[in-house]
Amino acid sequence: MKHFESRGTTMETRGPSYGKVSPRRGTRPDAASGSIGKSPDLDAAVSSLTKSLKVQRAQMATTLHELGLAYMEKGDLDAAASHLIESLSLMRAVHGKGVHREVAFTLHDLGVVFRAKGDLDAAAIHLTESLSMKRAVYGQGSRREVAFTLHELGVLFRAKSDLDAAASHLTESLSMMREVHGEGAHATVAITLHELGMVHMETGDLDAAASHLTESLSMKRAVYGQGAHREVAFTLHGLGMVFRAKGDLDAAENHLTESLSMMRDVLGEGVHEKVAMTLQELGMVYMEKGDLDAAASHLTESLSMKRAAYGHVANRDVALTLHKLGVVCKENGDLDASASNLTESLSIKR
């Protein structure tokens, strides 16, 4: 699921229909009384021009919205936020302070951008208002537009570590999506199943996590086919983490190895954060299986990739991999390397 809603908005463009009004003859002295009269065409002209201006503002707001989404796709989150904020302001001016679907859509997309920028409080404000407005527009029944915002709020609450709220919103979103799309395989249902599975893992309900992620994986394979796809790779990674937490290290290794291979196929051989994360997780599985050489190899590659991705800036992900590598080096009897990695990890954490 993309983190925004893309909609085609049709604006009918037409010229204003009003009589000819000469700027020099809009008002004229009344010959009979000497008073100032008013052309009967002016009221119609003002009304038509006002309607035309409103249409133009609505069209501009729509273009600003779409431009904001384009910048978001390009990864320019500042430009995306700027254009969506301006779009929202114009839409409120056009539609007023009440409930309107276009305002709700822009609030949703702006909330998604704020979440991507790391401003979780602003994201919560905009997504919550969007959800409230969509419920008012569409009623209490199942609607995909409402389900999308419930999903995004669930993802947001997970990022804020409010796992109960995350589970509640994602569960409602999943139920609504199943009603909308039916019981067959559907990409948005699969993605919500994945997110809900990860929430269950973080709350410690590993059986529920495995169940949701397994269904998500099956659905994604049905949707995307048997080839390499990043969405399939993400869920393979999540299942690998769950199996590791359950102590099923063989299943964990199998899922993480397939995820790693698929990610390399999809993303290429360069530096990628997701690849680095899977290398680290697979390294920890090898350590727990007692294969210290494989563990060191995967963790070293993960560390190298993270350094390339984050540069020289202190980063907690780098610190975590240094710590894990330090532990593996100690288990391998390489105490100098262990001390070096653990010392650097501690330095970053401080």
Average pLDDT, integer, range 108-123: 98
Mean pLDDT, the chain, as a whole number? 87
pLDDT tens-digit readout, 68-95: 999 999 999 999 999 999 999 999 998 8
pLDDT value at residue 12: 31
Domains along the sequence of the chain with CATH: 50-139 (1.25.40.10), 156-269 (1.25.40.10), 291-349 (no CATH)
Average pLDDT, integer, range 117-136: 97
pLDDT tens-digit readout, 242-262: 999 999 999 999 999 999 999
| DSSP assignment of 208-253 | HHHHHHHHHHHHHHHHH-SS--HHHHHHHHHHHHHHHHHT-HHHHH
pLDDT value at residue 224: 96
pLDDT value at residue 38: 53
Q: Which of 75, 223, 238, 233 is nearest to 158 (CA)?
A: 238
In the chain, what is the greatest distance between 2 CA atoms, to the nearest angstrom? 112
Which has more pLDDT, 196 or 57?
196
pLDDT tens-digit readout, 291-308: 999 999 999 999 999 999
Predicted confidence (pLDDT) at residue 117 exceeds the cutoff of 60: yes
Predicted confidence (pLDDT) at residue 8 exceeds the cutoff of 90: no
Instruction: Please enumerate in sequence order all residues whose Cβ is within 8 A of that of 207, keeping only pairs 6 or more positions apart, or say none.
Output: none
pLDDT tens-digit readout, 199-213: 999 999 999 999 999
pLDDT value at residue 50: 63
